[in-house]
Chains A and B, each alone.
Chain A
Amino acid sequence: MRRFRWTEWILTAPPLLWLIAFFALPTGLILLLSFRSAAVHGGIGPEWTLNTWKSLADPVYPAIIWRTLWLSAACTGACIAMGLPVAYWIARLPRRVRSWALLLIILPFWTNFLIRIFAWRTLLHPDGALKALLVWLGLAEVNDQLLYNQWAVLLVLVYTHLPFAILPLYAAAERFDFGLLDAARDLGATRGQAFARVFVPGVRVGMLTALLIVFIPALGSYAIPELVGGPGSEMIGNKIAQRIFNDRNLPLASALSVVLAVAVFLPLMLGVWLRKRLGDGLVSRGGHLS
C-alpha cells in the first residue's frame, strides 16, 4: 500500500506542481500586489498600502463594473434565449443528422476569434450593405453609427458566446424525455406552454452550465469592447489592460483583477452549489430528467 501512495504522489507531481507554480501562485500574487503602492513612473512600488484599494472608490470604477455586469448578463440571457430553441431542434433531429448539425453550429467557433470580430466590423460599417438595408427599412438614420457603442459590443459578445451556450443545452436536451411533452399536449397544453413549462425546466441543469460558461468568460472580455466598443463602452478587461499598458500602474491593475476574480468566483461557487442541489433533486425524484 505504501508503494501505491508513492506512485500517486510521483505521478501527480508534474501537472500539480506546474499548475501551482503557474496558476495558483500568480493568482495569489495578484492579491498580494494589490496591496502595494505604485511606483511614480510605473511599476511596483516599495511600500505596502491600502491606497490602491481606496482609489477604487473613484466613481469611475463602479460605472465600469456595472456596465461589465449588465453586458455579461444581457449576453447570457440572449444566448440562453436563443440557445434553448436551437438545442430543442437539434435534439429532435434524427440521430444521423445530429452530429452534422452540431458541427455546423460549432464550426464558426473554430475560426480565430479576432477574425470573427473583424467580420462584424466590416458588416457593421456605416456605409455597408447591412446599414443600407436598415435605412431602407426605416430602422436607422443615414448618419447612425452601428459600431462603437454598447449594442455593437453586446451583439459581438452574443455572437462569440452562443456556441458555448448551445452545447450544454443540447447535452441536457439529448437526455430529455420528449414523451413528457406529448403527455403535456394530451393534458391540454399548447405547444408554447409545453415548451416553457416542461422542456425548459427539464433542461435546467444544462441551462445552469450554459449560464456559467457564458457569463464568466464574458465578464473578462477585453478584445471585443476594445475593437467594436466606443469610448463609452469600456469593460473591466479594458480598464485592466489600460492600467497595465498605458499607465503602468500594476498594483491598480492587480486590484481591478481581484475585483474581476471575485466577480467570477461568486457566480461560479453559486453555480456549483446550485448544480449539486439540482442534480440531487432530479435523481431522487427518479424521473427521466438528467
Chain B
Amino acid sequence: MKFSRFFSFAGSALLAGFFAGCGRDDRPVLHVYNWSDYIADGLIAQFEEAFGCRVVYDTFESNEALYAKLQAGAAGYDVIFPSSYYVSLMAEQGMLQRLNHANMPHLKHVDPAVLAAVSLDKEMTFSVPYMTGTTGIAYRKDRVPDFEASWRVYGRSDLAGRMTFLDDMREVLGAALKTLGHSLNSTDPAEVNAAADLVIEWKRNIARFETVGYKAGIASGEFWVVQGYNGDVQMVIEDNEDEDIVYALPEEGFAIWEDTMAIPAGAPNVELAEQFINWMHSPEVAAANIEFNYYHCPNTAAYALISDEVREDEMVFVPAETLARGEQIRDLGEHLSLYNRAWDRVKSAH
C-alpha cells in the first residue's frame, strides 16, 4: 500500500522535526538587530566562539522600521543599532537601557573628537557610537560623463528611470532642504514643505526609493545615479573592482550621520549584550570592521591597526574642509510629525 508507506515516512519525518527542534542548542543566545552588511564576515563567529554563545542576526533597513518593530512589542532583541538621532527619541520613551560603563572597559578607546563633534549622546548614557559616515551621490562615470556634484542631478530628465533615492525620510528631505539652502534639521514648515515639493518634482525622474538595492543596482548598471552611504558605495567599488563608480559629496551640502549600538529595555540578555558592545570596540575588531565596511569607527586604538590605504582614504576619514559643507542629522523632537506629513505627501504624489 503505497500511501501507508508514505504516511509512516511522513509521520516519522514530522516527529523527527518536532524533536529535532528541541534540545538542539544550550548556549545562551544573543539577538542582534543591525543594518545589513555592517559587520565584517567571520567576526560574529569569532564572538560566538570567544563567549560561548549563539548569535541570531537580523537586519533592518531604516530607523523608522527599527522603531516600528520595537514599538510593536518585538521584545527579543539584545543589541540594536539605531542612528544617533533616534536614540534620544527612544530614550525618552523608555525604550533603551542605561549602559553600565563598568562592564565595558573598551569604551575608553572611543574617539573623544568624534564624540564632541558628531555624537548626540556624548556621555554614552544610552548608546555607544559605532560608525559615522556621510550620505552622498554615487554615479557611474561611464554612463554619466557630464556629472556635476549637485543634488540637482535629480532634476535631469535625460537620466529618468536610472536614478534612485534612499527610502529614508530624513535623507531625502534633507537633500532637498540643502539644495534650497536650508538646514536639514529645519523645523520651519514653509522650508520643509518647499523641500517636499522639490522632491516631488525629482520623483518623476527616479526609478524607485531604494535603501539596500541601489548597491547591486549601480554595480549591474541598472541605475546610474544613486543616493547612498559612503561606506556602502566603497564596498561596491571594491567588491566589483569597478572603477567607473564614483562617490561624490554635493556642493550644496550633505548629511553626516552616526550609527550607534544600544540595548533595548527588556532585552533578554543584557549582560551578553554589554559584552558584545564592549567587544565591538576592542581595537582589532573595530579595525576589522573599518576595513570591511569603509566607515569611520571612532576608536582611537583602531586607527593604528588599519592599513595605510584606508587611513588615508578621504572617503572614510573625510578631511575637515569637506566635512564643513556637511551637516549632522539631529533629532527633531516633536517636529517629527512635520516631516512625517511631508514625506507622506512625497510618497503619495504622482
A interacts with B:
yes
- Contact indicator B206/A231 (Cβ below 8 Å): yes
B71–A60 CB distance below 8 A: no
Q: From B64, which residue of chain A is reached at the shortest CB distance?
A: A246
Decide yes or no whether B93 CB sits under 8 A from chain A.
Answer: yes
Name the B residues within 8 Å of A42 (CB-CB): 67-68, 71
Asked if B65 and A148 make an inter-chain contact with CB atoms under 8 angstroms apart, the answer reads no
B71 touches A43 (CB 8 A): yes
Give CA–CA (A210, B208) in the complex, Å: 33
> How far is the CB of B15 from the nearest CB of chain A, in Å?
21
Q: Is the beta-carbon distance between A125 and B348 smaller than 8 angstroms?
A: no
Task: Give the total of B residues in contact with A, Cβ under 8 Å.
Answer: 28
Contact yes or no, B161 A248, CB < 8 A: no
Partner of B71, one of A41, A125, A230: A41
Docked Cα-Cα span, A63 to B62, in Å, equals 26
> Which residues of chain A in 220-269 are interfacial with respect to chain B, using CB atoms and an 8 Å cutoff?
229-232, 234, 242, 244-248
List chain B residues, Cβ under 8 A from A232: 203, 350
Inter-chain contact B64/A145, CB cutoff 8 Å: no
Pairwise interchain contact A230-B208, C-beta atoms closer than 8 A: yes
The CA of A143 and the CA of B207, in the complex, are separated in Å by: 12
CB-CB under 8 A for A245 and B162, given A125-B220, A231-B208: no
- Residues facing A in B200-240 (CB within 8 A) are 203, 206-209, 220-222
Q: Is B106 an interface residue (CB 8 A)?
A: no
Residue of B nearest to A43 (CB): B71
> From B221, which residue of chain A is reached at the shortest CB distance?
A127
Q: How far is the CA of A63 from the CA of B345 in the complex (A)?
A: 13
19 contacts across the A-B interface (CB closer than 8 A): A41-B89, A42-B71, A125-B222, A126-B161, A126-B162, A127-B220, A127-B221, A145-B161, A145-B162, A229-B208, A230-B208, A231-B203, A231-B208, A234-B347, A245-B69, A246-B62, A246-B68, A248-B68, A248-B71
Could you list which residues of chain B lie within 8 angstroms of chain A, going by C-beta atoms? Answer: 62, 64-65, 67-69, 71-72, 89, 93, 158, 160-162, 203, 206-209, 220-222, 340, 344-345, 347-348, 350
Query: Contact residues of A with B, CB < 8 Å?
Result: 41-43, 60, 63-64, 125-127, 143-145, 147-148, 229-232, 234, 242, 244-248
